Amino acid sequence: MRHQLHFAARQQQGMSLLFVLMLTTIASLLVFTALNSSVSQERMSGNFQKKLNAELLADKAVFESFHQLNAFAKDPANASASDAELAAVAAVTTASASGGRTYQAGAAELNAQGFAVSADGARYDDSAATRKVMFKRISGSGVSLFPFAHAVTGCNAVDLTASGGITSYDSSNPLAADTNVVVRTVTDGGSVTLVGDSPVIGDVLSTGNITLTGSSVISGKLHANGNILLNNASAVIKKQVWAVGTIDVNNTVVVEGEVKANSHINVKNVAKLQGGLRTQGNLTVTNNAKINGAVEVYGDVKLAGYSGSILQPALLRYRGSVNPAGLGQQQTDLSFASVPLLPVDNDDEASESFNPLCDPLRISEAVDAVEQPATLPPLNVRQAWDRKIYTLTTLEGKHTDVANLPASLTPANGLFLKKSQPMYFVSNVNGGSEGKLIINGHITLFIAGDMVFGGDSALQINHGSSLTIITSGRIEFTAGAKVINDQFPVGEPQGIVDGRPVMAIYSSYSGKDGIKLNGGIKSIYAAIYAPRTDIKMDSLAGVFSGSAVGKTVSVGGAGKIRYDQALGKVEAGGSTGSVNPRIVFHGWN
């Protein structure tokens, strides 16, 4: 009996081992099956992602081809280009980005529907996609220019020291919200300087350097082709700060957007950068400045003993070295998308980079093309003690404070910016002491010389009227002179009447200080286009409403600028002649 029991126990032990082996085998099979399924799904996901990236890259090639076509078609130098010449421009040469991404597009093929473009994108060699689209060429008979699309354009420089800053409104819609304005320079090296408490509700774009000192608040972005210096006390920049050159942030500046530079970045004196930082140069942080978010540095990082300046050290990546050691992660293959250059004006039509941003109206040619009478009389608003009020109507101009005086001026037909209109032609305008010039109707005044108002004189534009000034001389309002806009007695000044600015100034003057609004000017509405001379509002006491385009623009005093958004829709002189073709999307091929 004992022998039988022993034999049975040995049999049971053998079966247990067999069962354990069977269960282990089954579990192993399940694990291997799960691993094989995971690997397959991962490969499928990777292939799908690569295919999606390839399709996006093909789309990118389509967009670049489209923009190349339009840029070529809209260039005045290519007005007579044939369809074949235009089709060749569609080609996008092989381009590559990091991570094995490539894209390209071939020259367009001409057919009855238009231009057929085939674009390819690839993510590594085993994933590719193709997009085939149709573009169509559309021609027209004229193109309109909108010279007042920006608040302030100082072709060479903008210098804002006024404490009122720059905001906006819409004279055509009293309920419109304040929107971003644009303060910009356009010629190579054009600088922007903001001093004191000069808030800007919008963007500051500079083809040179940007310098901020004081306590300005910028609600938009800063973008410079040169360097950016932020040395403000309590200044705040709401969006990104980008520079092709270097960026220096000093004092108690707060930047809420990304700080990015193609060269070095220096941050010190408890400045706060809240939107991350990227630089192709070195980063130096001193005096316990704080940087939040991702920090990517192509060069070296030096924290000058304040390691706590990088609030999220796990997000610090660099290609060079870091001091103190041990922070962040060194990454030798770190990529960097450079800060792009802002477009730069080039007024030379023979140049390949022809881009007349400063003077798209060709104002000197436009003023010189106006045919003037052989003799031009002066307009002296005050001639004697009893002749202080001079009125210009659509029919005649004369002193209206003395009864029965005959007209001393009558309009004649003139052509300006290819628009025919009645004009008054005078050699100069002198406001004189206590004189008043009244505008009654839509008046165009051609002035061969200067227009000067001073000594408590006034320019009054009646309700429903407008004044367009075309001049090759200086315009000056000083010594208590006033500009009275009788369009809107309460609230914001009405800027547009029957499609015309209440007061528009087109000046071809090329000397110094061609437009001066000084001497405590209380308020003025004007759309000023004077790209060959300086616009100076150095002692502005009130509000300048409208828009200003000048060689340089400087604003000082306690006044402020209010950009009228309605001016962005106002054409200058109508059509500029024959329009080049434009390219539109016509469908998938």
* Mean pLDDT, residues 226-242 taken together: 88
Q: What does the mean pLDDT of the chain come to?
A: 83
Could you give the angle at the alpha carbon of 537 between the alpha carbons of 254 and 189, nearest 5°? 60
Residue 77 main-chain phi, psi, to 5 deg: -65, -15
- Full DSSP string of 242-273: EESS-EEE-TT-EE-S-EEESS-EEE-TT-EE
Quote the pLDDT of residue 166. Answer: 87
Quote the pLDDT of residue 14. Answer: 65
Tell whether the model's pLDDT for residue 489 goes beyond 60. Answer: no
Instruction: Report whether 134 contacts 588 (CB < 8 A).
Output: yes
Percentage of the chain exceeding pLDDT 70 = 85
Model confidence pLDDT, tens digit, residues 133-153: 888 776 543 345 788 989 999
Distance CA 82, CA 29 (A): 69
Distance CA 247, CA 545 (A): 33
| CA 467 to chain CA centroid, nearest Å | 29
Q: 111: helix, coil or strand?
A: strand
Helix (H) or strand (E) holding 373: none
**Residue bearing the bigger pLDDT, 53 or 339:** 339
Tell whether the model's pLDDT for residue 504 goes beyond 60. Answer: yes
Quote the pLDDT of residue 183. Answer: 93
Tokens of 561: 């600028």
Quote the pLDDT of residue 3. Answer: 59
Distance CA 166, CA 373 (A): 41
Could you give the angle at the alpha carbon of 522 between the alpha carbons of 186 and 545, nearest 5°? 40
Quote the pLDDT of residue 481. Answer: 81
Beta partners for 119? 105, 131
Quote the pLDDT of residue 576. Answer: 33
Quote the pLDDT of residue 385. Answer: 82
Tell whether the model's pLDDT for residue 577 goes beyond 60. Answer: no
Distance CA 200, CA 166 (A): 5
Lowest mean pLDDT, pick from 36-40, 49-53, 82-86, 240-244: 36-40
Tell whether the model's pLDDT for residue 391 goes beyond 90. Answer: yes
Instruction: Report whether 115 contacts 132 (CB < 8 A).
Output: no
Residue type, 511: G
* Mean pLDDT, residues 402-417 taken together: 91
With CA atoms as reference, report the closest residue to 384 among 447, 449, 433: 433
Instruction: Report whether 545 contacts 522 (CB < 8 A).
Output: no
Indicate the pLDDT class of residue 516, thresholds 50, 70 and 90: very high
Within 183-244, where are the H helices? Answer: none
Quote the pLDDT of residue 521. Answer: 67
Tell whether the model's pLDDT for residue 34 goes beyond 50. Answer: yes
Lowest mean pLDDT, pick from 225-239, 394-408, 424-438, 503-517: 225-239
Residue identified by tokens 């005078």 is 426
Tell whether the model's pLDDT for residue 235 goes beyond 60. Answer: yes
With CA atoms as reference, report the closest residue to 219 among 176, 177, 158: 177
Instruction: Report whether 278 contacts 336 (CB < 8 A).
Output: yes
Indicate the pLDDT class of residue 315, thresholds 50, 70 and 90: very high
* Mean pLDDT, residues 69-87 taken together: 74
Model confidence pLDDT, tens digit, residues 263-280: 999 998 888 999 999 999
Indicate the pLDDT class of residue 383, thresholds 50, 70 and 90: confident
Tell whether the model's pLDDT for residue 345 goes beyond 70. Answer: yes
Q: So where are the chain's domains?
A: 2-138, 188-330, 376-569
Tell whether the model's pLDDT for residue 259 goes beyond 50. Answer: yes
Residue identified by tokens 């590594």 is 124
Tokens of 67: 């923009």
Taking the CA atoms of residue 376, residue 380, residue 384 and residue 386 in that order, the dihedral angle to the nearest 10 degrees is 110
CB atoms within 10 A of CB 223: 24
Please provide the size of the chain in residues.
589
| CA 481 to chain CA centroid, nearest Å | 34
Exposure string for 33-67, b = 16+ CB within 10 A, e = fewer: eeeeeeeeeeeeeeeeebbebbbebbbbbbebbbe
Quote the pLDDT of residue 138. Answer: 67
Quote the pLDDT of residue 306. Answer: 58
Indicate the pLDDT class of residue 368, thresholds 50, 70 and 90: very high
- Residue 577: C-alpha distances to residues 73, 142, 143, 470, 570 (Å): 15, 5, 7, 20, 17
Quote the pLDDT of residue 140. Answer: 45
Quote the pLDDT of residue 589. Answer: 67
Quote the pLDDT of residue 67. Answer: 83
Tell whether the model's pLDDT for residue 308 goes beyond 70. Answer: no
| CA 325 to chain CA centroid, nearest Å | 41
Quote the pLDDT of residue 141. Answer: 38
Indicate the pLDDT class of residue 30, thresholds 50, 70 and 90: confident
- Contacts of residue 368, defined as CB under 8 A and 6 or more positions apart, other chains included, come to 472, 508
- Contacts of residue 489, defined as CB under 8 A and 6 or more positions apart, other chains included, come to none
- Contacts of residue 467, defined as CB under 8 A and 6 or more positions apart, other chains included, come to 439, 443, 444, 445, 459, 461, 502, 503, 504
Quote the pLDDT of residue 578. Answer: 39
* Mean pLDDT, residues 229-252 taken together: 89
Residue type, 390: Y
Indicate the pLDDT class of residue 575, thresholds 50, 70 and 90: very low
Residue 76 main-chain phi, psi, to 5 deg: -55, -30
* Mean pLDDT, residues 496-511 taken together: 92
Quote the pLDDT of residue 6. Answer: 57
Beta partners for 501? 496
Handedness of CA 441, 442, 447, 453 (dihedral sign): positive
> Whole-prediction pTM value?
0.72
Quote the pLDDT of residue 44. Answer: 66
Q: Choose from 85-89, 218-222, 452-456 the range with maximum mean pLDDT.
A: 218-222
* Mean pLDDT, residues 377-393 taken together: 91
Quote the pLDDT of residue 311. Answer: 86
Tell whether the model's pLDDT for residue 46 goes beyond 70. Answer: no
